Structure 1
Amino acid sequence: MERIPWPVWRISLVIVFGAFVGMLDSSLVNVGLDRIGANLGATLDEVQWVSTAYLIALAVSLPLCGWLSRKVGVGRLWLGAFAAFTVASGLCALAGNVEWLVVLRVVQGLAAGLLTPAGQTVLGQAVGPQRLGRVMSILGIAVSSAPAIGPTVGGVLLDSLSWQWLFLINLPIGAIGVALGLRYVPRGEPGTPGRLDWTGFALIGLGLPLFVYALSAVGEGGGGIKPAVLVSLVLGAAGLVAFALRSWRRERPLLDLTLFRNRVFTAGTVSSLFIGAAMFGAMLLFPLYFQILRGAGVVATGLSLLSLGLGTMVVMPLAGWLTDRHGGGIVALAGGVGTVLVTVPFAFLGADADPVLLQVLLFLRGMALALSASPAGTAAFASVRREQLPDATTTLNILMRVGGAVGGATIAVVLSRLLPTGAEHAFQVAFWWLTGASVAALAAAWWLWRVQWHERIQPAVVPA
């Protein structure tokens, strides 16, 4: 394998700051919604928009990443998004009422929607396809560790400080990240992306957030679908379908969906979609398992989940090395098998499960997740040309967001319908559903491996 020079590692470490702070912020703020509402005199429905507005805004800006990357240069876009996110974090801490806080969270979400795909594009263009796995594994450590430590950090902050520190904690991380980015991140060359496809942006810019919001609302609403939520779901799905049809036919679309003619890219993104469903479903299910079934507090729950993040962090560098050496498909397949095998035992565990056994299973699941999540996406990115990376990273992140919304909503609906009949039974059924999502991710990883294997042997086949 080609050696990765230190300047490339340095760029990847700087990009990690953006990925880490974006993922950390969401889990931190969700922990403190009750405290924020009490201090700002807001009802539960009102303060819930502090979280919902962030997710919707993130979904709105995500489709613009590819076009903006070509317009201003992907490094400049990453720096601008990180700076805007950091400034918005500080302003959130100064908000005097919930209305202003929601507005500022929209600004945060718009910036966060650009951070991850822009960072992935910077890394992909800096390192090249043959070394992408090892570099992307560093980014994967940040993405996986931030949600794991977020509840613990949030609980500790709220125990001793005001809710404003849930946002102020982003300031030193953001300041360091932007300063290092100005010094080390390549700016990228501005291109000529053509006029923005405003019709296409309207379709996906409304369709994606409506679809994600509707799925979230279904989960929060106890499984009953209100008419407004159903309308949002239908309009969101229609907008996404219309966007896809328009983009496929258009010469210079907002997103180049002809990337799906590339079989490796298609298999990698589909695999990432199902991995997103399993991963985000687990992010919802495991904290509730400890809080509801085992009666743990916020801090205790966060500490209990540290082993999950630790398992991912330990194995992620190995996953990157294996991806560069053997291809992302076979690594994701191994991770998918491990994820299924480690998820099944949770469907049999009750409230009195041995704590040591739980920690071992969580650690093993973190290891399996490291072997499945990053390699699939890396395989997709490595299969496209350098100039296609902005559209590739944006498309994959959109599908992971949709998959995550579906996975989270499914788990939430299952729990809300079954909890009245008994918490232990409800969680066992929910873990079977999570196992089903993991099996779907495993099947997609098998497809990715088969496609990569076929493409490797195809050049050696000489027609008769």
Structure 2
Amino acid sequence: MSSQPAAPAKLDAAVLKIAGVVVLGAIMSILDVTVVSVALPTFQTEFDASYARVAWTMTGYTLALATVIPLTGWAADRFGTKRLYMAALVLFTLGSGLCATADSIGQLIGFRVLQGLGGGMLMPLGMTIMTRAAGPERIGRLMAVLGIPMLLGPIGGPILGGWLIDVASWHWIFLINLPIGVVALAYAQWALPKDAPEPSESFDFVGMLMLSPGLALFLYGVSSLPETGTFADRKVWLPMLVGGLLVVAFVVYSFKPKHPLLDLRLLRDRNLTVASVTMAVFMVAFMGAGLLFPSYFLQVRGESTLDAGLLMAPQGIGAMVTMPIAGMLADKIPVGRTVPFALVLIAAGFFAFTQVDTDTSYLLLCGSLFVMGLGMGGTMMPIMTSALKTLTNHEVARGSTLLNILQQIAGSVGSAIMSVILTSKLNDAPVIPGVVDPNTGAPVTEAGLAIAVKQNPDLAQQFPVDPGLLQRGLEFVADSFATTFWVGFALVLVTFVPAFFLPRRRQVSHLLDDEQAPAPVLIH
């Protein structure tokens, strides 16, 4: 094979032009997960539905993501990344417009699923497009660029969602995607290179019938766990069991066809396997507990949705400081030498949240979030860089698909675990004698009343109880959050185990322009 010309050290204008398309699509997809999270109370009021019911506007979106991601690798090879990326943008934008027209919670959930079918393809396709465009020597830098929406989504989503609902209406959290989608489509048509699809591969229908329903059922069961509070509920264990069996059956089957729906043969690459395990454990720990940070500000401290979002901003600022640096270092220094230091920062910042009470200093908490952000910027993208760096061009689409599925599953499992722990702890709160919920007739706990009064002080007039009782309830809630954060902190510490096996010597990249077969993987 002829030697390849050296790639420029920096991301040139041609690569940045393509990166702009990918970042725009990724921002739309990721932002829409977090924007909707702040609208759930509004949906409860607008559609007269329970919290468990409206939460499916998020769960349905996640299930759609997990279902469609396995198809992305095959479809990218078959139809070409440009065509598929533009089709995903159309589907996502169409789903957004339909969401804004919904006049029932059932319609909204259905349209969110449609939105997720488009959104699920944007991230793995974006990673494939950018990896091919930048070349092997600049993977770290391009991952730093792609990491921007991954960080801005969780930070900017609650702020944007809270602001749009305050100044306009809930419809605008979806309508805002329409002009962005049109611009992204025009930009993609102009900027993305012409497709060179490879129609020779056959589609793995048998694999699809096992993997996509299996993932959807398993995540449905996991997502039902916070609502039921126990694995013993049939709504939890039955879909988890059936889904798990389908996924296991797919794993056994996937080594037989030449072109499986999800190429698990890639895990023979030790580097990809170690990076995948590290990423999965990290996502369980951080995504699970990370979603509860704003909830602490809302429920214990009584902040508005917008203010809770603003209080989370230091985390994004910290990540933006280190992510470009980590991207450059990932191209020069093995990630096994840098990621553990970033994990130390995350653990140090996380520890402060295990000590929260009803009046913990905001300076301490925001400082801790900033330190965690510094660690995040040096963790996520370098791990993904390590995972993809020794794959060939032909394997990148399938490798990024595998990583995206692991992230979705790990994030969903982490969120469910943390929600169940917090809910279980709050359910142990003492019941207030003689006080019942006027809507449901259920007994009211000290913790439940404390949260309600903190968020809506007018309720103190409807439930004239001893202020000392409210304070005691609020302290119980704060302690429940602290206990849950201890679990998250312990999981962050577990991440050090697989991180220890990340490569500590320079990796040889096989992302060449004209390879046809998987190249050998050099791991030292």
* Counterpart position of 2:387: 380
Alpha-carbon distance in structure 1 between the residues aligned to 2:365 and 2:235:
40
Question: Using a 3 Å threshold, how does the CA distance of structure 1 residues 304 and 378 change in structure 2: closer, same or farther?
Answer: same
CA displacement at 1:49 relative to structure 2: 2.7
* Counterpart position of 2:436: none
Larger Rg: 2
Asked if the contact 1:128/1:382 (under 8 Å) is kept, the reply is: no
Asked if the contact 1:28/1:166 (under 8 Å) is kept, the reply is: yes
Asked if the contact 1:329/1:379 (under 8 Å) is kept, the reply is: no
* Counterpart position of 2:495: 441
With normalisation by structure 2, the TM-score equals 0.84
CA displacement at 1:334 relative to structure 2: 1.9
Query: Deviations 1:355-377 (Å, cap 9, x if unpaired)?
Result: 11111110110110111111101
1:391 aligns with 2:398: yes
* Counterpart position of 1:289: 296
Secondary structure at 1:190's aligned position in 2? coil
Asked if the contact 1:129/1:381 (under 8 Å) is kept, the reply is: no
1:341 aligns with 2:363: no
* Counterpart position of 2:275: 268
**Could you list the runs of 5+ residues in structure 1 that have no partner in the other structure?**
none
The letter for the 2-side match of 1:178 is L
**Could you list the runs of 5+ residues in structure 2 that have no partner in the other structure?**
1-7, 430-475, 510-520
Alpha-carbon distance in structure 1 between the residues aligned to 2:68 and 2:16:
28
Question: Using a 3 Å threshold, how does the CA distance of structure 1 residues 43 and 436 change in structure 2: closer, same or farther?
Answer: closer
With normalisation by structure 1, the TM-score equals 0.94
Asked if the contact 2:334/2:507 (under 8 Å) is kept, the reply is: no
The letter for the 2-side match of 1:296 is E
Summarize the alignment of residues 342-361 of structure 1 with structure 2, pairs less than 5 Å apart. 342-361=349-368
Alpha-carbon distance in structure 2 between the residues aligned to 1:61 and 1:17:
20
Alpha-carbon distance in structure 2 between the residues aligned to 1:169 and 1:58:
21
Query: Deviations 1:241-298 (Å, cap 9, x if unpaired)?
Result: 1111111233221121111111111111111111211231133221122122222221
% identity of equivalent residues:
34
* Counterpart position of 1:62: 69
CA displacement at 1:383 relative to structure 2: 1.4
1:181 aligns with 2:188: yes
CA displacement at 1:169 relative to structure 2: 1.2
Choose from 109, 118, 133 the match for 1:102: 109
CA displacement at 1:440 relative to structure 2: 2.1
Alpha-carbon distance in structure 1 between the residues aligned to 2:194 and 2:301:
49
CA displacement at 1:329 relative to structure 2: 2.9
1:32 aligns with 2:26: no
CA displacement at 1:141 relative to structure 2: 1.2
Secondary structure at 1:179's aligned position in 2? helix
CA displacement at 1:99 relative to structure 2: 2.8
* Counterpart position of 2:220: 213
The letter for the 2-side match of 1:320 is G
Question: Using a 3 Å threshold, how does the CA distance of structure 1 residues 298 and 403 change in structure 2: closer, same or farther?
Answer: same
Alpha-carbon distance in structure 2 between the residues aligned to 1:290 and 1:459:
47
* Counterpart position of 1:279: 286
Mean Cα displacement is larger for which, 217-226 or 425-434?
A: 217-226
CA displacement at 1:378 relative to structure 2: 1.1
Alpha-carbon distance in structure 2 between the residues aligned to 1:459 and 1:146:
35
Secondary structure at 2:357's aligned position in 1? coil
CA displacement at 1:234 relative to structure 2: 0.9
Choose from 479, 484, 488 the match for 1:430: 484
CA displacement at 1:187 relative to structure 2: 3.8
Which fold has the larger relative contact order, with Cα–Cα distance below 8 Å and residues 6 or more apart in sequence? 1
Question: Using a 3 Å threshold, how does the CA distance of structure 1 residues 193 and 400 change in structure 2: closer, same or farther?
Answer: farther
Alpha-carbon distance in structure 2 between the residues aligned to 1:356 and 1:274:
29
Mean Cα displacement is larger for which, 435-444 or 22-31?
A: 435-444
Choose from 26, 29, 42 the match for 1:19: 26
Alpha-carbon distance in structure 1 between the residues aligned to 2:83 and 2:414:
33
Choose from 127, 138, 142 the match for 2:145: 138
* Counterpart position of 2:198: 191
Asked if the contact 1:329/1:375 (under 8 Å) is kept, the reply is: no
Alpha-carbon distance in structure 2 between the residues aligned to 1:129 and 1:8:
13
CA displacement at 1:164 relative to structure 2: 0.7
1:158 aligns with 2:165: yes
Question: Using a 3 Å threshold, how does the CA distance of structure 1 residues 285 and 223 change in structure 2: closer, same or farther?
Answer: farther
CA RMSD of aligned residues (A): 2.1
Mean Cα displacement is larger for which, 407-416 or 392-401?
A: 407-416
Mean Cα displacement is larger for which, 309-318 or 260-269?
A: 309-318
